[in-house]
Amino acid sequence: MKHSNKELWLALLAIFLITAVYTLVVFITRAIPPAGELFGHLIGVLGFVLMLMTEVLYSIRKRSRSARWGRMSSWLQFHIFTGLVGPYLVLLHSSWKFNGLAGATTLLTAIIVVSGFIGRYIYTRIPRNLDGIEQESPLGGVQAAALVRARRLLAIWHTVHIPIGVALFASAFIHIGAALYYATLLR
């Protein structure tokens, strides 16, 4: 299966457009948008929703072999797109302040994105059909050994990537709860 970079180009385009809007807001207000004000909240909520969709929808589709809601390769592209655009929005939401739990959450977000790039690279080393199902190596010998190594690396990568994602979402939910309590309910 030929691996496309369409999702990367679309994510780059979305990030470019988001940057243009963010720059316009900075130009109009003559300040970095605070995370606690309307624009900062909006980009934070949108970024978190995209990140939640990244994790939940892709995982449900991946584990549901009987579901026929599109090809796994399309869902992986969706996962990559939302996994880049969502964290970028969360980064902008941070107002370039990385203190406390919010800073730790932002750090985990950056780690999970870098880990995702590594996983995407390993994933592309394993031949798959259009539905994303692994195929045996078309050539034997050295290629078969490389396929075994790639599968082993992907398994190791999963054991690191998934717990970091769980930690990320746990800290994000705590951050959201604290922000709602301290910034909204106590006002």
Higher per-residue pLDDT: 171 or 63 = 171
* Mean pLDDT taken over the chain: 81
Q: Kindly list the distances between the CA atom of residue 90 and the CA atoms of 16, 49, 68, 84, 151, in Å, as whole numbers in the listed order.
A: 15, 10, 32, 10, 32
CB-based contacts of 42: which residues, under 8 Å, 6+ apart?
A: none
In the predicted model, is pLDDT for residue 181 greater than 80?
A: yes
Average pLDDT over residues 11-26: 94
Q: Are 29 and 71 in contact (CB under 8 A)?
A: no
- Half-sphere exposure (CA, 13 Å, Cβ side) for 120? 20
Compute CA distances 48 → 21, 51, 53, whole Å: 18, 5, 8
- Helix (H) or strand (E) segment spanning residue 8: helix 6-29
Indicate the domain borders of the chain: 6-185
Q: Could you tell me which residue, 137 or 79, shows the higher pLDDT? A: 79
pLDDT level of residue 116 (50, 70, 90 thresholds): confident
Q: What is the pLDDT of residue 24?
A: 95
CB-based contacts of 127: which residues, under 8 Å, 6+ apart? 1, 134, 135, 136, 137, 138, 147
- The pTM score is 0.77
pLDDT in tens, 20-72: 999 999 999 999 988 778 898 899 889 999 988 888 887 777 777 676 777 77
Q: Which comes out higher in pLDDT, residue 21 or 74?
A: 21
